[in-house]
Structure 1
Amino acid sequence: MTVPSGRRSSTFTRLLRYGFVDPSHAEKLLGEDALAAVRSDPVLLDALGAAADPDLALLGLVRLAEAQPDAEARRTLLTTLVSAKPLRDRLLGVLGASEALADHLARHPGDWKTLVTYESSDLHPDVAEFERGLADVTDPVSLRVAYRRCLLSLAARDVTGTTDVSETAAELADLATATLRTALRLAQEAAPEDAAACRLAVIAMGKCGGHELNYVSDVDVIYVGEPAHDGVDEGEAIRAATRLAAHLMRICSETTVEGTIWPVDANLRPEGRNGPLVRTLSSHLAYYHRWAKTWEFQALLKARPVAGDLALGQEYVEALAPLVWQASERENFVTDTQRMRRRVIDAIPAAEAERELKLGPGGLRDVEFAVQLLQLVHGRTDTNLRSPTTLAALAELADGGYIGRTDAFQLDEAYRFLRSLEHRIQLFKLRRTHLVPEDEADLRRLGRSLGLRTEPIASLLKEWKRHSGAARRIHEKLFYRPLLDAVAHLAPGEAGLSPAAARDRLVALGYADPAAALRHLEALTNGVSRRAAIQRTLLPVLLAWFADSADPDAGLLNFRKVSDALGKTPWYLRLLRDEGAAAENLARVLSAGRLAPDLLLRAPEAVALLGDPAGLDPRPRAQLEQEILAAVGRAETPEAGVVAARGVRRRELFRTAAADLIGSYGTEDTPAEEDHGALVDRVGSAVSDLTAATLAGTLRAVVRAGWGEELPTRFAVIGMGRFGGHELAYGSDADVLFVHAPREGVDEAEAARAANAVVAEMRRLLQLPSADPPLLIDTDLRPEGRNGPLVRTVSSYAAYYRRWSQTWEAQALLRAEPVAGDTGLGRAFTELIDPLRYPAEGIGEEAVREIRRLKARMEAERVPRGQDPNLHTKLGRGGLSDVEWTVQLLQLRHGHHEPGLRTTRTREALAAAFEADLLDQEQARILDEAWVLAARVRNAVMLVRGRAGDTFPSDTRELGAVSRYLGYEAGHAGDMLEDYRRTTRRARGVVEELFYGAAL
């Protein structure tokens, strides 16, 4: 009943302040005769208030006092309690955290005395000390009593902080070891003839083997048996060992008047429940050599002899160790382990998934599986990684550079928190559970037991969410790390970069200069630094990825250069080790040619793009322009502004080139792009948008330096050719027209001088020496060509086109599109030229003949001497010009009546022409396929050689790199050339029919 506030006693108020949830009941308990000697002692209330559950602690103390055999014993308990702080903290700490141990003390009221002896924080019992605590055990019942007595002291050290969670787990494993030995002694004493007939070794597995046991957990074991001596029949010895093992399990597992200890589980043995309980060592070895599954080797990681014949147990562990550390070489080892973890999660009942502390996402298994997988993959060559204890192994992985220090720290924190929470949940009733309770009283006790005294429930749930989220996030990153599977498939010598075999291996991988490659490897991996350790993990896999290119030597050299440039940058190697497909992406990019590595070496921080899932997506033109304009705005001179713009261009060219290469080659995570047309379109749009943004930035730099914020004339840049068509290749010039319109009140001559000065300065700035790929603007498509003015007003363009325009100019204007400067002026120019490029009546036969003559003359005159015209991507048979001129002729003749043809993009216009029934589906497919292939070849040549070209390279290695880009296997460059000839030959046939024939 709630006491009205006006009638509450001072004791009631004090009890509330000390954290009692039910102060009325607590006040009543303090009034019991059993506590008469100490009820008013403030020291007692202070100690009760420090317990996880003060109400539970007080109730347990009353029960313990009442259970004392006489008044003298009770007085001894209470006076010792108030006078000895160590006892007070330990006893009340246990009573406030464990109802089960309070029950034990009530049944065995003298056991509180085991808590009187104080151990300092660096003094912890070992197996021998626990065995001494169990020495007087004579039967299963007395074993349980002695076990709980030992557990009482262990729990007291835990709840008072004398031990941390890892030390508590180790002590629990040592207590389990002593218990197994005692149980085996009882079994042997009950059957001395069996004990005499066999050698029996008990191998601890799982958490007991790893020295990280829970308060209540199955103790997983495997049994190994052998005849005691040569005179004993092996079959009889195994039967005797089986009887002893079965008796040991019953002693520990069966329920008695004193309850149970924990189940002994032998299901991890060969063949599980269906296999014999005990096997000889040779039988174990035969099974693991022939039949064992991947998970069984993972389980053996924690195998440790704990009882019985320890020499035999050690033989077992040493005999199986090589198999454990070779397990990662098994086919599908990594994927099998990953699949097993997913099955565990899928098997959790839906109603329990959110509360599952052990098996669920973000639970203890996430940490353990990630650590074990990394151990098994890397531990075969690095013996420092073979600890069976999760936290120790995690520290070893961090020290060796296999896990980032921050990730390791967060995993360690998460594991300690989750294990502490699990311990306190189990300690309450000493029942096996991994579910976080839902009851508020339970949550409050748990929160307080973990030191969360302010709003313990909310704080507990917040900390749980934080740590489980970190565990899940890092598990996903480590457990599904692409490098793991690649490292697992390396031979041990490769994984360890053995110098003796390295040269032969490099030759076999296709390195043309193995001596130079060895020097690079030595420079990257020498020393004991963390950087060298991570490189030793990365390089064996990278070498194989480099070898999958046309130039492995260049890939390794470029990697060394990038590593030298970024070696001291903390995120670089961590990115390659941890983040998705970053390492494989980098390997592909560095070994695919010159352009991308050259760009990266001038902007090495762009490596970060390779680790971001969205890092290779092209950025919208508006974002690029905003960034470049902001950089230009911060620059003090036009030259500095252009340098800043070039910096953005360099990074974005790398982004585009990397995405192109990875989209063409593919990686483990990202298969090669099947729609090659989409890849070409993406490159063309990205390079065109970047060029437009760079011109906008250059224009801003010029205007700011010469006129401030505003020119005396409106000014716009019109993209032409591939630029206007959003089809620029990496090495393309930017074809442009310049247009201006004097502002109101400005003299036309003054406006013209300003516009011409802007053009001249833009050209000068863009031609300043730079190591970056050049950005050249070409104005030859302007009226009157090279002889005409560089910039005109809209009215001047109108006058020229009205009077002098030729058919080829109307054709060129098909790809005109505003790209920079005054948008309104650009729109006005577009409105001016639309009637020219999409004439209402189409174009006449004479204009068609003129276009055909120009095309034929271009083919005859412009293909360089000595080059095979059938392999010239731009002017050759079935190449880019063939397709583009055919499409443009269709646009000139039908664009006015077919809105779909009014586009500057070749492939869009071709698709629109098919939709308008201007050519059939097969013709459209053949032309599109040829255009995409020719565009891909041009891009490949630039990527491989670092300079633009319209023909296939003559160098064998460069030709091989182009063929790899196009999806051909190594050594199949001849197939590539034959396929190119076949594709363009078919396209030329369509062009002959549509462009030169009468079909148009």
Structure 2
Amino acid sequence: MSLPPLAALPANLQPSAERALSAFRTALADQAPELAHWSDERQQAFARVAAASDFVSEQAQRDPAMLLALAASGELERSLAPGELRGQVAELLADCADEDDLGRRLRRYRNRQQLRIIWRDLTRQADLAETCRDLSDLADACIDLAYRWLYERHCAQFGTPVGRRSGEPQHLVVLGMGKLGAHELNLSSDIDLIFGYPEGGETEGTKRSLDNQEFFTRLGQRLIKALDAITVDGFVFRVDMRLRPYGSSGPLVFSFNALEQYYQDQGRDWERYAMIKARVVGGDQAAGAQLLQMLRPFVYRRYLDFSAIEALRAMKQLIQQEVRRKGMTENVKLGSGGIREVEFIAQAFQLIHGGRDLSLQQRPLLGVLGTLEGQGYLPPPVVAEMKEGYEFLRYTEHALQAIADRQTQMLPDNDLDRARVAFIMGFDNWAGFHERLMYWRGRVEWHFQQVIADPDEEEGGSGDSCIGGEWLPLWEEALDEDSACRQLGEAGFVDPAAAWRRLTDLRNGPQVRAMQRLGRERLDAFIPRLLNLTVEHGNPDLVLERVLPMVEKVARRSAYLVLLTENPGALQRLIELCAASPWIAEQITRFPLLLDELLNEGRLYRPPLAPELAAELRERLTRIPEDDLEQQMEALRHFKLAHSLRVAASEIAGTLPLMKVSDYLTWLAEAILDQVLALAWRQTVARHGTPKRADGSLCDPDFIIVGYGKVGGLEFGHGSDLDLVFIHDGDPQAETDGAKPIDGAQFFTRLGQRIIHLLTTQTTSGALYEVDMRLRPSGAAGLLVSSLGAFQRYQENEAWTWEHQALVRARVLVGSPGVATAFEQVRLAVLGRERDLEGLRLEVSEMRAKMRENLGTRETAAGTGANAFEAAAPFDLKQDAGGIVDIEFMVQYAALAWSRQHPELVRYTDNIRILDSLEQANLLSGEDVHLLQEAYKAYRSAAHRQALQKQPGVVAGDQFHAERQGVMRIWRELGLK
């Protein structure tokens, strides 16, 4: 947001303005020539700013030359360029004589910049972002350059600190926390710092060496004095070291190992919260980056961490108690609906999701809010309102602090300062400003309650009652078995004894017995909620049967229980989905990280389109270091699991029809294969160098992954395998250009092996896909990767008819566009060959008969007559007569038989569009095409439902009679047997 222009100067501020201008003119009496820079317009601007800010007035009277110099330099009217401020400080300290001189120069420079920043803030020449950035850059420059000046002299006095293990000179690392770390410093902030150094050792170069700990402790004390001590020139920044381990009672500096050990063993929740914004603001930047990487696992957990919200809630309660105790309800930072609540909202999402969603691992609050909107955690209107409210509160904070350069967030209680604040904020009077402020505080508080509030606290309630509290005695065994079963039966359980046994088995099971106190408390809070929602479902017995295994699985990682306790909507969706599909229940039980997907209903039931899928996965992987293969593999698997769940949920909810389900699952496989190929290529090239083409140029990558079967035909289902063929167009004999060269054939074989490894390796999140390579030339006996030429020769001279049938559904999934085009030319040429129709019919019929005999239901495997279904034997949707494979074989037969005359038959690889082409070419009637398409979709839809129910693709024999008879009639009319 941007504030309105300064309001007209109120009458009660006119005397202040006149006094400030008069005093400034008096102070300038001996410097009259300098007034050439000060037009009447500028003097009036000064009067208005000075009327609002005693600090500006006092600085101008005390050192008028400073203000004149600022004006002469043009810095009052322009933004500073990146690095300009640091350059000024470096130049200022270049000939600094001693520590007293250092302190004096830094303080005077700080006063000059503070005056400039307040001037630009109050005259609306700088927005909130610029003001915060300039203040943070000023702190960075003063901290780092003062440290470097002191370090040289400290080393001259005590020797250079050297690491015992590395033997390298050591530097201090200064971490800036809070608003400094996030580049959000306000007009009168403390700076919260933590000091660290890489490793123990001692100084070298002097007669009496110092331990590194003592060296850096003394240096840290000198740095704090240079910044914090109040002299006649004021201070540079107030330094607060209380965020360090053990607070004020702890050592001033810590080695990296000591810091890591502390946070690993003793780090508290509020310290995680504080560490989110930690940034290296001084000293050794490279070592500091290593330190932050070491501490990252403490801040961001690899799993969903809803326990963070409990900690934030507890912190907020402590703050509220302190606010009430000290009478700080008028505090725009800590009071209800204040700045801290917006920060808590953002950081709650960061701590909960940041371990898995790396886009949330950032410091600036407005950036985090933008990411929460972009990633679907919060709706755009909510984010827009929070941003506007936050910026209004921060502008208010700056207005309060601009008055006297004092660290305060309390609204004033006197008429003069109230008039100043209203004037700075662009309001004609205090009442108008206060009304707007209270509106924004109300909106922030409301959003805060939605995220942080205890779900047990009903609006206006005391928070003492527990949702589902009537189930607590049953869970805690306060009831005997008869009473418990009676309560379960009255609540709607068909088999209350079985439900009671399930609950008892969970409570007495090894997972729950091994839980620590905190985890058990979370389970005791969760089970009543679960039962409360379970009995609202039409089939509570089924819900309990499917959800309790998941509860047992996550019992030892109780953060997941907190997630569901804190989010009743997510728990409701868990119950609905598990009741609808045992496949979903099993997936969530095996991979509890999928619970994250239940948080956002809009996102759960609206999976992204293909380009968005690919972009999302690409973005996730770019945030992971290239050499962290384990994390890359986990990210790929989590992505696949999450989006598979979203598709299944959408299918169950009816928001995605069958054809779209297959599209999404196919797009998901393609997005994953694209990144797997990129990973495998990068790793293989790093090891062996890049292979070459026949002309000697480098491949890039001249490799494609061809999909057959369901993935090739855009008919992927839940749990489908990938039928793949790998093809390259490099020179098999030419060696790669790396340090460990191998010939091209070996390179592409290893690339293929690497791809399969990435896809099929079992990690904690399972495998990506099962891969079937048997459709490659010569099947299991053939090379893993074929050259394009070898593939063409095989298809033209050696392939069986069934392999050409498979080629109808083959398409390039990912890889080199040039090789993809060449492959498609080979495919079209092979499929469009002239064929003996009678021989083709015979081969297709014989292959289908073998499949029916070996794979179909015995009672109907060979049945093709009108009475084939009288026995009402089970119907295998895929393999039995009149089923899916019959339709696929007819389509493939037609494509092979007639594509020479009608090449459009093989343009597409999916059965539905090939059938459309057969109708358009007048090769099948519209009625027959419609029958086959509808039967095909009906069979596949039934197969999907069976898969989600973890049932084989077999239905009762009394289903689909008309469809099966119609399919078999067309089979016979095509001359197939």
TM-score range, shorter chain: 0.3 to 0.5
**TM-score, length basis structure 1:** 0.45
**TM-score, length basis structure 2:** 0.46
- Larger radius of gyration between Structure 1 and Structure 2: 1
